[in-house]
Amino acid sequence: MNLLKKISFLFFLTLFLSGSLKAAELIMVEQQGCYYCLEWKDQLGHIYPKTPEGKFAPLKTIDITEVDKIEGLKRDVIFTPTFVLMENHKELGRLEGYSSEDFFWELLEVILEKETDYVVPQVTKTNN
């Protein structure tokens, strides 16, 4: 096999393999009339996609009536909102309920660091 064919083969093999692996995603299971689902959406829904966490694990929302379509859950989803961190059709962790921004970010960060290769960005302080 000549060099050009080898390079082409490796290039397409890499594309094929990388396409078959899915990155982490955060699935929000919600239901109509869920007060805390609306609270999360109102407080964090517009912010989440812009954060390092949101870029690492993009959000996908699903209604609780369609939860059986999620492959790889470790157990049933009973409460809404439930946030399930998934990667390659495997549940890595979950947050059940929503009480506050601080609580959500703290727990999500712990799960991401523990279960994935996510690294918390370092915040540098400037002196004014």
Confidence category of residue 2, pLDDT binned at 50, 70, 90: low
Domain presence at residue 101: yes
Domain presence at residue 11: no
46 vs 22, higher pLDDT: 46
The predicted pLDDT at position 128 comes to 60
Rounded percentage of the chain residues whose pLDDT exceeds 70: 79
**Max Cα-Cα span within the chain:** 63
Structural domain range at position 80: 28-114
Average pLDDT (56-62) is 98
The predicted pLDDT at position 7 comes to 52
Domain presence at residue 78: yes
Sheet of 90-96, strands arranged across: 59-63, 25-30, 82-87, 90-96
Domain presence at residue 39: yes
pLDDT in tens, 83-128: 999 999 999 999 999 999 999 999 999 999 999 999 988 876 666 6
Domain presence at residue 22: no
Domain presence at residue 21: no
- Provide the whole-model pTM: 0.79
The predicted pLDDT at position 123 comes to 74
The predicted pLDDT at position 108 comes to 98
Domain presence at residue 92: yes
What residues pair up with 95 in beta bridges, in sequence order?
A: 83
Of 17-26, 31-40, 44-53, the poorest mean pLDDT is in 17-26
Which CATH number covers residue 59? Answer: 3.40.30.10
> DSSP for 7-46?
HHHHHHHHHHHHHHSPPPEEEEEE-TT-HHHHHHIIIIIT
Domain presence at residue 63: yes
The predicted pLDDT at position 13 comes to 44
Total of domains in the chain: 1
